[in-house]
Amino acid sequence: MLAPDKGDVFDRVAGCEEADRLLSLCKSKNIKSDQKPWVTYGGFSKPLPTLPVPPAGYKLEASESVCGIAVEWKNFCRQPK
pLDDT tens digits, residue range 13-64?
Answer: 999 999 999 999 999 999 877 767 777 677 888 899 999 988 999 999 999 9
- Asked if residue 14 belongs to a domain, the reply is no
- Asked if residue 63 belongs to a domain, the reply is yes
- Asked if residue 53 belongs to a domain, the reply is yes
Distance, in Å, from the CA atom of 62 to the CA atom of 28, rounded to the nearest integer, reads: 9
Q: What is the pLDDT of residue 28?
A: 95
Residue type, 33: S
- Asked if residue 3 belongs to a domain, the reply is no
Distance, in Å, from the CA atom of 61 to the CA atom of 39, rounded to the nearest integer, reads: 21
- Please list, in sequence order, all residues whose beta carbon lies within 8 angstroms of the beta carbon of residue 6, skipping any fewer than 6 positions away: 47, 48
Distance, in Å, from the CA atom of 33 to the CA atom of 16, rounded to the nearest integer, reads: 18
- Asked if residue 12 belongs to a domain, the reply is no
> Is 0.85 topped by the overall pTM?
yes
* Domains of the chain: total: 1
- Asked if residue 15 belongs to a domain, the reply is no
Q: What is the pLDDT of residue 15?
A: 95
